[in-house]
Amino acid sequence: MHGLMQNMPLMISSLIGHAERNHGDTEIVSRETTGGIHRYTYRDAHRRARQLARALLSLGVKPADRVATLAWNNHRHFELYYGVSGLGAILNTVNPRLFPEQVAYIVNHAEDGLVFFDLTFLPLVEGIAPHCKGVRSWVAMCDRARLPDSKLDLLCYEDLVNAHSDDYEWPEFDERTASSLCYTSGTTGNPKGALYSHRSTVLHAYGSALPDALNLSARDTVLPVVPLFHVNAWGLPYACALAGSKLVMPGPQLDGASLYELFEQEQVTVSAGVPTIWLGLLQHLQAKGLKLSTVQRLVIGGSAAPPAMIRTFDDAFGVTVLHAWGMTEMSPLGTVNTPKGKHLKLSAAERDKLRLNQGRPIYGVDMKIVDDEGRELPRDGKAFGDLLVRGPWIVSGYFKGEGGNVLREGGWFPTGDVATLDADGYMQITDRSKDVIKSGGEWISSIELENLAVSHPAVAEAAVIGVAHPKWDERPMLVVVRKPDQALTREQLLDFMRDKVAKWWLPDDVVFVDSLPHTATGKLLKTKLREDFRSHKLPS
Ligand code: ADP
């Protein structure tokens, strides 16, 4: 017997409809690509998204067609989120920091018919256009006055929107219909597409707004530093509409000073981004002796948030870090670190230890760890193994079947992370499975060593890689960037680490460099480091 409840499909368009009806005067503020601040409301955004939908239809866009963006976080990109998906087409947000060949690969693989781009990316677009024959139109996200001269026959975003009325009703269709498409960064091999649906997106928005997740409300002002081209800015454009939070979008300026200015000016309460962004903000705050007067929570994810960073934000700035873990294939949120009631009684030192892990799963994400034979390992906080996940906002496969069947028996998706789980549900990543260092048959966690190294006051950033060793197969080597004007020697750093890890975990060598290589999404590019130090001779 079915229940007698209405079967309302979970549509992305219903999020912006809800925001307009109930939070119509709540602001969306963006720093424009061309400078200056743009300010309007959910009501205006919804009107323009409907105008945009009509414009897209007039350009021949049909349900299931792919429409690409190469754009910063701003109001036009936000309108595309709703305009494209709302009419039943698929928004393919492409990461403009990838190599041009990769961008062209994605546009071709996705078969994008239209590409919307911010003016910053005109040279990129002109470079790839000859290799992207399937693109019918390139649309510059600006007004007529700023439309650049180009060898391409560009369309103008504002002309398109203004040429159409907002007299448009969002269609209702199967909630499992594809809504957006993000490619994984692909440090090895070609990028693969994660294809989200209306249902998965709305459920993820519900889940991520929960109190023990990002705790979003109509009292919050949210600034996503995480790009709209990177896993849908961790779902914030949807979750903020659902919660009625004010949105502040930073455009292209992601340096500490520019972010600080927006935080204070717009009274931001919540922000989200990868650790390297927060490193930049902390340096700015400390150098100028500034305080954050309204920020309450910073969501840090994408790679491990260094313990020293979590502590500094809390102790020196009164900001709670929400350490979060996820991946493109998971829409992306999987876990968020928040304490339980019973933890509030813990000593400061015990609480401190607890808040360093990647947190507990949000309802909707099921997790387990397994050994090499696929046998489930105990949830004791000690055993570590391959982390598998399943749930309604986790991929069942990649776009166009790339990579074949990616699920294990029982529908489990292998994350490629190695982790521990404990009886309270807390998960701790010990490594990427390809980064873990295998020394004499035992595993050494590169992340743990990196966290320890960056807790030294003179260290800005650190990476640990495995280097070939005749006796142990691999031994850890530490690559370090010093903070400006800090003297630190190999011996001093090793002495600092010596009594804090097992003896055989201590790196065999320390090398100082000016900077570390990062991927287009801000993660340490360890493949490059391993290549650079392939023939490095360890002193041992
Ligand atoms: P995203 O685009 O959300 O960064 P990717 O798919 O590019 O996701 O990468 C996901 C991987 O990033 C995870 O499998 C994990 O290895 C790493 N990662 C993400 N968040 C964290 C975290 N908080 N701590 C450690 N590693 C993380």
What confidence tens digit (pLDDT) does each residue in 302-319 have? 988 888 899 999 999 999
pLDDT at 187: 57
- The total number of structural domains that make up the chain: 3
Judge whether 495 lies within some domain: yes
- Choosing from 79, 329, 450, 461, the catalytic residue is 329
State both tokens at 241: 């509409």
Shortest-distance Cα residue to atom 1 of ligand 1: 327
Q: Output the domain CATH number for residue 158.
A: 3.40.50.12780
Strand order in the sheet with 366-370: 366-370, 385-390, 413-421, 427-432
Last residue of a domain, one of 182, 200, 218: 200
Name the strand (E) or helix (H) holding 439: strand 437-439
Distance 280 CA to ligand 1 centre (A): 20
Mean pLDDT, the chain, rounded, equals: 95
Q: What is the pLDDT along the chain (540 residues), one digit of tens a residue?
A: 999 999 999 999 999 999 999 999 999 999 999 889 999 999 999 999 999 999 999 999 999 999 999 999 999 999 999 999 999 999 999 999 988 999 999 999 999 999 999 999 999 999 999 999 999 999 999 999 999 999 999 999 999 999 999 999 999 999 999 999 999 965 567 899 999 999 999 999 999 999 999 999 999 999 999 999 999 999 999 999 999 999 999 999 999 999 999 999 999 999 999 998 999 999 999 999 999 999 999 999 998 888 889 999 999 999 999 999 999 999 999 999 999 999 999 998 898 889 889 999 999 999 999 988 899 999 999 998 999 999 999 999 999 999 899 999 999 999 999 999 999 999 999 888 888 898 887 778 898 899 999 999 999 999 999 998 888 889 999 999 999 989 999 999 999 999 998 899 999 999 999 999 988 777 888 989 999 998 888 886
* 169 is a catalytic site residue: no
Same-domain pairing of 412 and 441: no
For residue range 179-193, list pLDDT tens digits in order.
Answer: 999 999 655 678 999
Instruction: Report the length, in residues, of the chain.
Output: 540
Same-domain pairing of 339 and 488: no
Last residue of a domain, one of 200, 231, 262: 200
Same-domain pairing of 380 and 452: no
Q: End-to-end alpha-carbon separation of the chain, Å?
A: 70
Judge whether 315 lies within some domain: no
The ligand 1 atom at the shortest distance from the C-alpha of residue 329 is 6
Judge whether 538 lies within some domain: no
Same-domain pairing of 102 and 191: yes
Distance 407 CA to ligand 1 centre (A): 19
For residue range 2-38, list pLDDT tens digits in order.
Answer: 999 999 999 999 999 999 999 999 999 999 998 899 9
256-288 burial, b if ≥16 CB within 10 A, otherwise e? bebbbebbeebebbbbbbbbbbbbbbbbbbeee
Last residue of a domain, one of 378, 405, 432: 432
CA 82, CA 238: separation in Å to the nearest integer? 9
Shortest-distance Cα residue to atom 3 of ligand 1: 327
Q: HEC profile for 129-180?
A: HHHCCCCCEEEECCCHHHCCCCCCCEEEHHHHHHCCCCCCCCCCCCCCCEEE
pLDDT at 176: 98
Same-domain pairing of 101 and 115: yes
Strand order in the sheet with 37-41: 37-41, 27-31, 246-249, 221-224, 270-273, 297-300, 320-326, 333-336, 360-361
Domain of 16 in residue numbering reads as: 12-21+39-200
- Choosing from 443, 474, 527, 528, the catalytic residue is 443
- Please answer whether residues 2 and 222 qualify as being in contact, where contact means their C-beta atoms are separated by less than 8 angstroms: no
Same-domain pairing of 65 and 172: yes
Judge whether 6 lies within some domain: no
Q: How far apart, in Å, are the Cα atoms of 351 and each of 20, 69, 299, 316, 342?
A: 41, 42, 18, 17, 11
Same-domain pairing of 498 and 370: no
Distance 203 CA to ligand 1 centre (A): 20
Same-domain pairing of 527 and 387: no
Shortest-distance Cα residue to atom 13 of ligand 1: 327
pLDDT at 186: 59
The three-class DSSP label of residue 273 is strand
pLDDT at 471: 85
Distance 334 CA to ligand 1 centre (A): 10
Same-domain pairing of 339 and 396: yes
CA 205, CA 232: separation in Å to the nearest integer? 11
CA 65, CA 55: separation in Å to the nearest integer? 14
Judge whether 175 lies within some domain: yes
* 69 is a catalytic site residue: no
Judge whether 52 lies within some domain: yes
For residue range 408-439, list pLDDT tens digits in order.
Answer: 999 999 999 999 999 999 999 988 888 889 88
Same-domain pairing of 47 and 195: yes
Same-domain pairing of 346 and 485: no
Q: Output the domain CATH number for residue 481.
A: 3.30.300.30
Question: Does 517 contact ligand 1 (Cβ within 6 A)?
Answer: no
pLDDT at 537: 87
CA 95, CA 121: separation in Å to the nearest integer? 11
Q: Output the domain CATH number for residue 427.
A: 2.30.38.10
Name the strand (E) or helix (H) holding 275: helix 275-288
Question: Does 417 contact ligand 1 (Cβ within 6 A)?
Answer: yes
pLDDT at 30: 98
- Please answer whether residues 452 and 459 qualify as being in contact, where contact means their C-beta atoms are separated by less than 8 angstroms: no
Q: How far apart, in Å, are the Cα atoms of 411 and each of 52, 302, 384, 391, 407?
A: 38, 24, 21, 9, 5
- Name the residue among 108, 105, 129 with its Cα closest to residue 117: 129
pLDDT at 432: 84
Judge whether 93 lies within some domain: yes
Judge whether 139 lies within some domain: yes
Question: Does 272 contact ligand 1 (Cβ within 6 A)?
Answer: no
pLDDT at 188: 60
Q: Quickly list H helices, 289-320.
A: 307-317
- Please answer whether residues 158 and 143 qualify as being in contact, where contact means their C-beta atoms are separated by less than 8 angstroms: yes
The three-class DSSP label of residue 5 is coil
Distance 35 CA to ligand 1 centre (A): 31
Locus of tokens 């029982």: 410
Same-domain pairing of 352 and 419: yes
